[in-house]
Every structure is written in structure tokens, then in C-alpha cells.
Amino acid sequence: MEPKIIDHYNEYPQMIKVIDNLNEENEKLQVELEFYKSLFKTHRNSVVYNLYDKYLIKENGEKEKIWIDKIRCDKYDLQFLEQDKDVIEWQKPVRCER
């Protein structure tokens, strides 16, 4: 069996990379957790079943993740959202039933 040579100069930076990656992942999870906590601040009177996380497109083209209640929103609010299949469906007029 051949003895393994440990190169401390190369292992140390590798461990730093792992720690940096873990810190990045933790930061992303913290942002996501704060977004889900905001649900109870912004939509206290909404049914959670009717809430969707969608992207609001700002004037400068940036996207912001927001909560939208498909029952309580109006057509004006929907036009500023990223147009996915749900948003397109919500913009269609509701047919009257007899």
C-alpha cells in the first residue's frame, strides 16, 4: 500500500471553498425563509390555498418575488406579473353559469 501524501496547501483552500458554498446556501435559505414568513404579514386575511408566489416585473426590468391572492387581486395587478400559465388563465373572463 502506498502512503498518501497530504498537501496542506491544497486541502486548506478546498475546505474554504466548501465553507463558502455552505455560507452561500445558508444565505439563500434565509432569504427564502423570510419570504415565507412575509406571507403572514402581507396576506393575513387570505386563504393560504389561494396564495401563489409570483414575480412582479418592475419598470427597470428587475423581478421581485411576491405573494398574490388569485381571488382578491384585480386585472390591473395581474398585468405587471410575469406572464406564466396561471396568470394568463386568471386574466381570462369568468363565464357565467346558469
pLDDT digits 0-9 by tens, 24-72: 999 999 999 999 999 888 888 888 889 999 999 998 989 999 999 988 8
Report the alpha-carbon distance of residue 48 to residue 22 in Å, rounded: 31
Continuous segment of H or E residues that includes residue 25:
helix 8-42
Q: Residue 7's pLDDT is what?
A: 57
Report the alpha-carbon distance of residue 48 to residue 96 in Å, rounded: 26
> What are the angstrom distances between the C-alpha of 65 and each of 2, 34, 39, 52, 87?
55, 12, 12, 10, 14
Mean pLDDT, rounded, of the chain: 85
Report the alpha-carbon distance of residue 22 to residue 72 in Å, rounded: 39
Q: What is the DSSP letter of 97?
A: P
